[in-house]
Every structure is written in structure tokens, then in C-alpha cells.
Structure 1
Amino acid sequence: MSASILRTSRTKPVWSALARARFSSTAPKNTTLKERLAELIPVELENVKRVRAEHGKKAFGPVIVDQLYGGMRGLPALIWDGSVLDADEGIRFRGKTIPECQELLPKAPGGAEPLPEGLFWLLVTGEIPTQEQVTELSKDWAARSAIPEFVEEILDRCPPTLHPMSQFSLAVTALNHDSAFAKAYQDGVSKKEYWGPTFEDSMDLIAKLPNIAGRIYNNVFGKGKLAAIDPAKDYSHNLSTLLGFGDNAAFVELMRLYITIHSDHEGGNVSAHTGKLVGSALSDPFLAFAASLNGLAGPLHGLANQEVLLWLSKMQSKIGENASDEAVKEYVWATLKGGQVVPGYGHAVLRKTDPRYTAQREFALKHLPEDPLFKLVGQIYNIVPDILLEAGKAKNPWPNVDAHSGALLTHYGLTQMQFYTVLFGVSRAFGVAAQLIWDRALGAPLERPKSYSTAAIEKMFKDKS
């Protein structure tokens, strides 16, 4: 295995010393998340004011015509505080790599993976919470977890043939009925106070997602009576229980890791950007996140891990479970020569192995090293990059997060691929909600970029010539 494949977020940092200093402290004890946020908002308002005063009139990156036609790829156009994605080192959550989060964030008793509750605290505040603060956050989400009866009825009336992501979006949209922000706005709340009801909606949103996801899974795949949220358990444990896997400690650990690493991936991806865009219209977090889910449901975004699993399954059926390296190489070449891509390899931004892939690989090596599908994933990991480089098919021939997650879920019996994007959606709520809170706290404006027609672009350059 080449050393370059193993390069992850442990390599060169992109954060300045100042940024790392701002986002490296631990949370003060004996304070709730909302109390701490209220303390941080005026500090960050002054920081944003300072940055704009010092740098607001400076150019920030070139814009070329190809970027306009190419889906704004690489165009610097958003502020997203929770995470930054670097081409070489991968994702950092408030300046911290995935290995650092795994080390520093609180864990469940006897667990080794970070609790998503701690990751959410980090995304919101830039601080590492205490074990007690994370426990209180778990209890708070459990207390908020019930979904309205009419939302249950909406889900129960959906035909099982309706895609789980469509059901997910319907249910989240319907939660708008009880939005604290929508009510406060109607009542004339001050703009300076927008963040408070946005925070409450965001907390309710995240808290209710396990019940929504569990009900969809139960209705579509027929898993019997739906379990109840246990107020003494953490978020991932309750989600696992609602899916019917709560008795499997390793699956619960996988959910803790899965939610953490899928929670945020800076602001330019479709689901994150959609949530920010819709939220900028002062749509409440439920409406904004429902829009995010509709973007996540697209085959170029959240469905990628399904495509990987289908490709792996077809490979196994054709060449067998314990195929030779030569047989795998022939199958990969046949895929490429057939005009198809190798799913799970390459990334729009990353130019090294996705650290989220590495985290999942390390989990598999610890918990399921002899699993046949994981062995195939590892075999492909050693073979595909060199083939892609030889074929000239990818600027980045290294695996991304989707190359691995399906194999892990399948190992533990969650084989219903149509449901995988729902789990991705539960995770992505953490990053979208954290940014929505800060957008309201900082008074972020309505997003309204300028667009041009092809004729206007031609005229612009003709006039300059």
C-alpha cells in the first residue's frame, strides 16, 4: 500500500495559529450549550466586524467563466464556520481533524468512538465539552424527541414504495407546524434575538430525527413494534435501538462514528449549501433542512454509497468472494472500458485519501477484519488508485467516504440500501443546524448571487476586446 494513499488529515494544517487558538479550548464547566452560545455570540459579532473592517474590500479569489458554467466549482462564495475542507488534509471540524475529534470528544461509558453530542457542541462553540455537558445534551435531546401525532400519521400513511428520503423530507417539513422561530417571527421578535428560537428549533430538529428515521425504517422494511427513546441513553444508542440494532454494541459504536464523520463537510456541498440558502430567506430550520434533504437525495450527492455497494455486489457475484488481485483488476478495467466510473473513488475537492474513509477502515480492522465484503473493499483500496492513475481517469484516484460505509452497515445486517441516505441525513443535520444558528446570530443576509446569460458573457468580453 503506497504511503501517499495513507496521507490523511494528520498532514499539513491549513488553519492559521490564530484560528487554531480560537477553536482549541475546552468548554467552561457548569454551563449549558445555549448559555455558552449566548456568551460567544457578542464575541463573534465583534470578530466578524473586525475581519470585515480589515479585509472587507479586498479581493478573495479569482472568478473565471468556466466556474460559472461548471457549477461554481471552487468559487469562494460562502461563510461556513463549522468545518473547512482542504484538498490535502481533508475535513477539520472547528480546526480539529477526525483523529483529534476521536481522541478529544467525550465517549459513552466503555465506548471508543466520539459521541455526536460532543461533536455538535464543538460545531456550535468551537470548544470541547465536558462529559457532564454531553450527558445533559443527550438527556435534552431525549426529552425533545417525540414527534407530533399528525406527523406519525403522515408517515404511517405513506406507501412503502415511496422512497425513504421522500418520507424523511415530508416529515421534517411537517415539523414546521410547531416552529419556535416561525412563531417568534410572526410575533415580531427583534432581529438580534433570532438566534434563540432558531437554536430551539435546531435542537428539536436533531432530537426528533431518530424517531422519524426509526418510523420510516419500521414502516418500509417491517421491523415490528417501534421502540421508545430511552432518556438514559445517548443519541446514537437510541437511533440504533429504533432501527432494531440497539443490542449490538459494535453497531452502536459504528453509529457514533458514522454520525460524527458525516455531520459536516463545509458549506459548498449541495445539502449544506441548500440549508444555508433556504435559511437565509428566514425559513425556519425545519423548512431549511427539509430542502437540504431533497438535495441530499440526489444521485450525485447522498446516493453514492448505494452505488458503491451495488458495484461491489455485482463484482462478488461475477468473480467470487475470495477473488485474486488479477480478477479484481480485470473487473475494474472492464468497468472503466465500459464507460463507467469506479464508484467511491475520487472527490470534488480532496486530492488524498478521505480521512473519513480511513476512520471507517480503522473501525473495520478493529471490529470485522474477516468480513468478506470488507476484505474486498481493502483489496480494491490497494488496486484501484494505481489503475485510475494509469488510465488517467481521475485527478484524485483515492477513496472517499462512500467507498466504505455501505460495507460496514451491511456487515451488521442493515442491508436496505435505500435507507442509507436517511442515516446520512440524520448526520448532516448537525452541521446544517449549527450553521443556521450562527447565521441568525450574526445577522447573515439573504443570499442573492448575480447570474449572467451566455449572451451577456459573450458581450462582456467582446466589449473589452
Structure 2
Amino acid sequence: MSVNQNLEKTGSAAYLCEEYLKNNFIDPATCERLGVKRGLRNPNGTGVLAGLTNVCDVVGYDLVDGKPVPAPGKLIYRGIDVANIVEAAYKEDRFVFEEVIWLLLFGSLPNAEDLARFRKILEENRALPDNFAEDMIMKAPSPNIMNKMARSVLALYSYDDAPEDMSLANILAQSIGLIASLPTIMVNAYQIKRRVYDRQSMYLHLPVPGQSTAEHILATYRADQKFTKEEAKLLDLCLVLHADHGGGNNSTFACRVLSSSGTDTYSAIAAAIGSLKGPKHGGANHKVMQMLDYMKQDIRDYYDDEEVSEYLRKLLAKEAGDRSGLIYGMGHAVYTQSDPRAVILRSHAVELAHEKGFDDEFHLLCAVERLGPAIIEEVKGKAACANVDLFSGLIYRMLGISDDLFTPLFAISRIPGWCAHRVEEVVFANRIIRPAYKYLGKEQKYIPLEAR
């Protein structure tokens, strides 16, 4: 029996909640009065400047007289616009996620020899340590793959001969090992989850030499190990676009916070995975697909802009969908006019959507992207644009990937960025991150136990 079940059985849960709420309350208006920057956001909506980085820049607005003015979004890896990387990948018909890993970690584009050597290193480190899958994954399956991934990353500490070595060489070696092995951990965790919780057959395929990360994921995920190059390239595109998003996004900041304390690589990356699991962060693409399913169920004519617009208003009014009052896949903390990742994904997903029979779903999401901004402006009075989550979940679904892996795939994509920021934090920042909180509690006297 779990702690929660025991508390419910004994009637203690309600009492404990009542006791907490009786003695605790913080009025959000107090934050405004005291100038507290909730969510580490400035009054104008921009993020509080908390550090410096050479890794990634996220551009979503221009500052004019201290006020953010909407501008077309840009995502820049080490000074290179990600749109140019994607353009080169399709022009040269090759996989580029491994190149992006090198770029983020080291700060330069690898030459052909470096890239070939690096791809080989990643391939050689995809296999898990002996008995790891049996001892760490099979014996303790999880219904949520993100939790299993975080636990497995922490467990890898025990397989490292120098887990606490904070030298640059060792942290880079640990980073490369985690980047290489996390896709294998993800697929293994999913297969065990299928068997234990879904009562379906599981398939544990060994890594195949010579494959890119995207190919490795599809080959180990699918029972027949078959996929087309176009499918793998689209997955590679998703990996590239999610690889980093600046030092201020929640999971990367969590990684940097832990890294600033001097803790080990495995603890810092596990914390980032825990952050990304949240539906306000990495779990958003899953919520988009739930919203899409509601739309397909409730909208009669997917191609009627007026009916779609009315449904979006109902979503905001908490009268439809999951009643959250949100249009998932719309809005971003930085991007105001456009999210370049959403723009790129949409342009490359249309062909597969037609090929796989997802024309209606793709059209509905394009309608959300097209109609949503004006409706959000009308109802909430703020600017919003489509974000990457609007299309990434549909792409995964078109690739036949289970909803269980939407957020884990985000983690596979983002771990190069986490590691690059961790290295930067350890080598250059050298100061523990420690913001302040204003204490609001009232003074009270200690009362002896017999007098309470």
C-alpha cells in the first residue's frame, strides 16, 4: 500500500490538506506590490537576466525603449541560424543531429574527419552496460518513461569509474556517454512499459552499426526495424530543432542550477529530465494531441474557419477540451511573432501528412496556427504565435510513435544542450545560483506540547 493509499484509508489526507491550507496563503498581488519577479520574469514579460552563454540565442522580439516589440523568431546555435542548418541537411540529403551535438558541445562545426570519428564514438556508446537493462529497467518498470529515464541516468553513476571527477575531460566524456545511451534507455523503458502495463509484446533490438541517432531510434522502436529514409530525416529534423533553447528554459536552467552547486553530471541531467516532464514545458506536445482529438470529435467541418474559430473561443472560455482555458501549441515565453521551429516543422510535415493520411489533422493544426493569434488577442489581449509543440506531436504520431514517447523524444533531443550548458556553468560561472525569496510569515511564540 502506498503512502497516499494509506492516508486515504485512514482519513488523514483530508485532515493534512486542511491543516496546510489553514496556515498557508500567498496572494499573487503581494508579488506585484513587492516587485517580486514571479517565474523570474520582468514586468514587461522578458526573462530576468541570470547569466551569460555562448551556446544558444533565442530571438523573439526587439527591445525598443525598454519595451519588447514583436519580431520574427530566430533560433541560433553557436552563432548559426538553425534554419541554415536544416536547409543544408535537406539540400545535402543527410542527417545532421550528430553535427549539431558537436556544434553545441564544442562551439564549432566539425570537419568531415571529426564528424565521422564522433559518429563512431556515439555508436560505440549506445549499448547499455552489461545487465543494466535487466537490473535497472526491467526489474522496476515505470508507467511514465520520463521517470524511468531519470532513474536510469542516476543509476549510471554507479557504472562510472570516476563519477565525481569535475575535470573538463571527464564531464565531456560523461556527456557524450549520456547523449549516446539515452535513446537506448528510452526505447528499452518503453518496451518494458508495453509488456508490464499495456500487456503487449516487447521487442529489445540491439543497436545497428552505422546508423544515425534518428535511425537508431526507429530501428530499435519498431518491431520489424524497418523505416524509410524520409521518416528518419523527419525525426532527425525534430531532434535538431529541439536540441537547445538557451540557458533560461526551465529544464536547462534546472541543469545549470544543479551544476552550479558542484554536483555530478548524472544528478544534473536527471534534474533536467524531471523538469522537462512537466506539462508546462516538455509535456506540451502531448497536450496538443489531446486537444486535437477533442477538436476532431467536436468540430463537424474541419475546413470551416468560422466553426474552428468558435471552438477555439470555447477552449479559452473553458467550455471545451480539457477545460483548462488554454489553446495548446499557442504562445511562448520569448517568441511573439513566430517560432522558427514551428515554421520549419510545418513546411516539412505537409508531405508526410498527405502520404500517411493525416491531411485533416494537419489542416486543423494549421487552422489553429492561422486563427489562434487573433482570437487570443481578442479574448486575452495579448500577442501569441504557434510554438514548436503545435506540430511536433503530430509528426511523432505520423511516424507511428506512441504518445508515451513524445516528451522522452524531447529529452533525447535536448540532452546535448543540457550538457553544453552544464560544461559552461562548471567551467566559467563558478558561483552557486542562489536567488532570494521574501519571507511573509508572521512571528509566533513556541508553545510547549502539553499547552497546545
TM-score between both structures, scaled by the size of structure 2: 0.78
Give the one of 409, 419, 424 matched to 1:423.
409
Q: 1:404 is matched with which residue: 378, 391, 416? A: 391
Deviation at 1:368, TM superposition (A): 2.6
Q: 1:184 aligns with which of 149, 154, 165?
A: 165
C-alpha separation between the residues in 1 aligned to 2:35 and 2:346?
Answer: 34
Match of 2:77 among 68, 74, 93: 93
Counterpart pick for 2:229 among 239, 246, 249:
249
2:39 aligned to which of 29, 46, 71: 71
Deviations 1:103-162 (A, max 9, x none): 34x679843xx51111111112332222332222111011112222453122112345x3
1:203 is the counterpart of 2:176: yes
- Once the two structures are superposed, the pairs formed by residues 101-120 of structure 1 within 5 Å of their partners are 101-104=85-88, 110-111=93-94, 114-120=95-101
Q: Is the 8 A contact 1:357 1:402 kept in 2?
A: yes
Instruction: Mark the CA change 1:354 to 1:108 in structure 2 (over 3 Å): closer, same or farther.
Output: closer
Distance 2:338 2:38 in 1: 24
SS in 2 for 1:92: strand
Contact 1:181 1:201 in 2 (8 A): no
Rounded Cα–Cα distance in structure 1 between residues aligned with 2:35 and 2:257: 19
Q: Give the structure 2 partner of residue 441 of structure 1.
A: 427
Q: Residues of 2 paired with 1:312 and 1:203: CA distance?
A: 37
Q: Which amino acid aligns with 1:385?
A: P
User: How many residue pairs end up in the alignment?
Assistant: 380
Which of 120, 136, 139 is matched with 2:117 structurally?
136
Cα distance in structure 2, aligned partners of 1:67 and 1:119: 40
For residue 215 of structure 1, the aligned residue among 188, 210, 235 is 188
SS at match of 2:165: helix
Partner residue of 1:148 out of 129, 142, 149: 129
Query: What is the root-mean-square deviation in Å for CA atoms of aligned residues?
Result: 2.5
- Three-state SS of the structure 2 residue aligned to 1:368 is helix
Contact 1:116 1:235 survives alignment (8 Å): yes
Equivalent in the alignment of 2:331? 346
The Cα shift of 1:336 comes to 1.5
| Alignment deviations for residues 187-244 of structure 1 (CA, whole Å, 9 cap, x no partner) | xxxxxxx111001100101011111011012112345321111221112211221211
Unaligned 5+ segments in structure 1 are: 1-63, 186-193, 457-465
Q: CA deviation at 1:386?
A: 1.7
1:228 aligned counterpart, secondary structure: coil
TM-score of the aligned structures, taking structure 1 as reference length? 0.76
Tell whether the 8 Å contact from 1:82 to 1:123 is kept in structure 2 after alignment.
Answer: yes
Asked whether the 8 Å contact 2:165–2:171 carries over to 1, the reply is no
Partner of 1:14: none
Q: C-alpha separation between the residues in 2 aligned to 1:115 and 1:157?
A: 36
Residue of 301, 321, 324 corresponding to 2:281: 301
Distance 1:290 1:210 in 2: 14
* Residues 180, 201 of structure 1: 8 Å contact kept: no
Tell me the residue number matched to 1:239: 217
Q: Which residue of 1 aligns with 2:380?
A: 392
Q: Cα gap change, 1:360/1:91 in structure 2, threshold over 3 Å: closer, same or farther?
A: same
| Contact 2:330–2:369 (Cα < 8 Å) also in 1 | no
What SS does structure 1 have at the residue aligned with 2:58?
Answer: strand
Task: State the SS of the aligned residue for 1:86.
Answer: strand
The residue type equivalent to 2:431 in the other structure is P
**Identity of paired residues, percent?**
25
Could you tell me which runs of 5 or more consecutive residues in structure 2 were left unpaired when the two chains were aligned. 1-31, 42-46, 61-70, 195-199, 319-323, 443-452
Is the contact between residue 98 and residue 119 of structure 2 (CA under 8 Å) also seen in structure 1?
Answer: yes
